Structure 1
Amino acid sequence: MSNGNILISGAGIAGPALAHWLVRYGFHVTIVEKTPELRLGGQTVDFKGETHRTVLTRMGILDEVRKLQTGGTDQLIVDANGRTLAVLPGEFTGGDLEIKRGDLSRLLYEKTAPSCEYVFGDSITSLTETADGVHATFERSAPRTFDLVVGADGIHSNVRRLAFGPESDYVRHLGHYYALVDLDEDFGPVPMMYNEPGRLAAVGGPKAPAFFVFASDRLDYDRYEAGQQKELLTRAYAGMGWRVPAIMSAVRRAGDVYLDSISQVRIDRYSSGRVVLLGDSAYGNTLGGFGTGLAVVGAYVLAGELAAAGGDHHGAFAEYERLLRGYAKIAKNGNAGPFLAPGTPAGIRMRNWIFKYRFLLALMMKMGDKFATDIDLKTY
C-alpha cells in the first residue's frame, strides 16, 4: 500500500491537507474537484491550541500560515440606528491563529500541486468496490480504479452519498442558513453586525465578505446557481432595518455568493470497505468553530495510520476512527444559528450580554481550547 493509488474527492482544506501527508509517505494521489477552479473565497478560519499548532508545525507550514494570518478583528454589534450595543472581540472569533479560508486553500494547493494530480471541473458518478480496489466513474474523465477513495468533499459529500447512502440519512438541518457574499461596495473599515429576530447581517472590515445568518426551514435550490441564491437571500432579508436595504442592493449586483444550510453530520462510521470520510463529510457542524482544525488533524491521523498499517486499510481506518471519534465529539454539540441569529428580542439581548461580561466569554473560550487539544497525537 505504500505505493498505492488514492483518489480524494474535494480540493478544499481537508483533501489537500491529506494529500500533503500521503505524498510524503509514498502514495500516488489524485484529487477531483467539482468546481472549475480552486475556490478562494469564504470566511476566515482559525486554529486553536497546541494540537493544531503541532500539526501545522509537522506539516512545515506554521510559519507560512502565520505570515498570512489576519489577526482577529473586533466587531461592533449595533442597533438600527448604528449605536454600539456590544463588541464581539476578535480573539473570540479568531482563535490563536486566524487566516482567510481562501489563503489557506491556496497555500495547501501550492504545496501539493507539483506532487499529485488535480482534476478540476469533474465529479465522481459511481464507486464500485472490487477485490483489490475501487472502480470510479466520472462526469467527464475516463473511468479508473484506485486502491482507496477518500471523501473530503464537505457536508454535502458526494462520496458519502455514493458509498454510504442518501444525504438525508446523515445530515441534520439545524433550522438556519448562512451566506457569504463578496461585495464591490465598501461598507466601511469597521466590521459591524446587526440583528433582528431570526436574522443577522454583517458587513465591513478590510476585504471581508458580507455575512448573513437567517432562520428558515429547508430550502430547495441549486447550490451552484448564484442567481437562485441571491433571490433567496434578498427575499429572506426583505423589510429589515439598519443598512440592510443598501446591503441587499449590493448583493444583487455581486458576482459570487455562497449560500448553505447550517447543518450537522451524524454518522455511525467513517469508512465503508475501501472508502473513508474525512473532515466535514464525516464530522461537520457548520460554523461550529472547529471544522478546519478537525480537518487538518484528521488528515494527519488518517495518512499516518495508512502509512503505518503496512497495506491493511481496514486496520488503518479503524484506528483513525478510534482516535478521531472522541476528538470530533465537539462537532456533535452546539448550533451556531440561534447564537448568531437569536429568534426573539430577548434572545438577542442575552447573546449581547455575554460579550459585555468578559468572564462568560473567557469561560467559553477556555472550553473551546480544551476541545481543540483533546487528542493524543502520535508521531508517525
Structure 2
Amino acid sequence: MVVSRSLFDEVMVPNYAPAQIIPVKGEGSRLWDQAGKEYIDFAGGIAVNCLGHCHPALVGALKTQADKLWHLSNVLTNEPALLLAKALVDHTFAEKVYFANSGAEANEAALKLARRYAKDKYGEHKDQIIAFKQGFHGRTFFTVTVGGQPAYSDGFGPKPEGIEHAEFNNLDSLRALINANTCAVMVEPMQGEGGVMPATAEFIKGVRELCDANNALLIFDEVQTGVGRTGELYAYMAYGVTPDILTTAKALGGGFPIGAMLTTTEIAKHLVVGTHGSTYGGNPLACAVALAAVTTVNTPEVLNGVTHKAELFKRELQRINDKYQLFSEIRGMGLLIGAVLNADYAGKARDIMLAGAEHGVMTLVAGMNVVRFAPSLVIPDADIVAGMARLEQAIAQIAAPTAKQA
C-alpha cells in the first residue's frame, strides 16, 4: 500500500493540518522524507526530542526494556518507574512523583492535587485557580480552560469554574485577583505557545510571595522548559524560586510519551489511594527511556552545551536579521528561542516555517508572529550553521517580494 499525505485526509480526524511531507527516518538533528530529501531539524518535535532522533542511549534503553517487561497495571509497581522517580527526586526539590502519559495529564493531576489539598486543609471555599493569559497547559477540558487562550477552550459547552487569568509578567494583575479563596497559581517559567516569552525574575519571585501570603500553592508548568531546555535541568533552578508542584513531559521521554508531576511529601499525601490514577502512567518502557534521557541530559557537558549552542543560534539569527530586517526581537531561554516578526512581516511566521521546509530546515511557530526554535540539546554546531544557511534561503524567498514593494 502506498502511504501518502492524502491518506491522512481519508482516515484521520481533521483536527490537524500536517505538512505534505512525511518523514520516515531520523538520526541526530537530521530527518529524511519518503523521497529521501534531508531536513535539519530545528523543531525537535516541539521541544520533545531533547537528544535528537534515535539517540543511542534512548534506543538502547528501549531495546533492553522491550525484552523484559512492557506493561503492568498499577496494582503493581516496576523497577524503571521507581528508578526514574528516584532520579527526579534526587535532582530536584521534589520528594514524591506521579507518572502520567503527557503534559496535559501531568497538569490535570497537579490541578486536581491543588484543589484536593486546599479542600482538605482549608475547606470547600478555597478552590480558585489563577493562571495567565496566553498560557498553555494542555488539551483536556480542565487544562485547556486553565490555559489562557480562549480559542482553544471555546465551543465545547460550559467550562470548569473557579478559574481566573492574570497578565503574564504583571504582578499587579495577579495581586488584583489572588485572595483567600485561591488554592493555586499555575505559571510557565517561559510561555512557549504564548510566544516564547520568559518570565522576569522579579515576576516569578513576586508570584511566590503572593502565593505564600494567600496560602496558595505555586505550580510550575515545565512541560516545555524542563529537562535541560533552558540550560538547567528545570527552569525554576535559574530563578531561585521553588514551586510546590512541578509538571514535566515532552523532553522527559526524549520522544517516548511520558509525563510526571513532582511535589513534596506534605502535599502529595492528599492524593490518597483511589483519588487519581492512570492506566499507562509509570509504564516500564516509557520510564526506562525517560531515565536514559534524564541521565544523559543532566550532565555539565550537555547543560553547559545548551548555553553555548543558544548563543550560536542567536548570533546566526541576528546575522540573518542584520541582512533582512524582519525580526523586532530574538528572545527565549536556552534552546527555546523565539524570533519575533516586526510590523512589516506581521502574520508571516507560518510562511517562514513552510518556506523553511522547502529549503530543508524544520522550524516552528508560536502564534502568527513568532518563529520558534526548539532543536536537540546536543545538535552539532555545524548543523546549526548549516540549518541557518537554509533558513536564510527561505527568508530571502519571503523577504524578496516585500523588498520589491518597498
**TM-score of Structure 1 vs Structure 2, range by shorter chain:** under 0.3
TM-score by length of 2: 0.24
If each structure's strand is expressed as a fraction of its own residues, which one has the higher value? 1
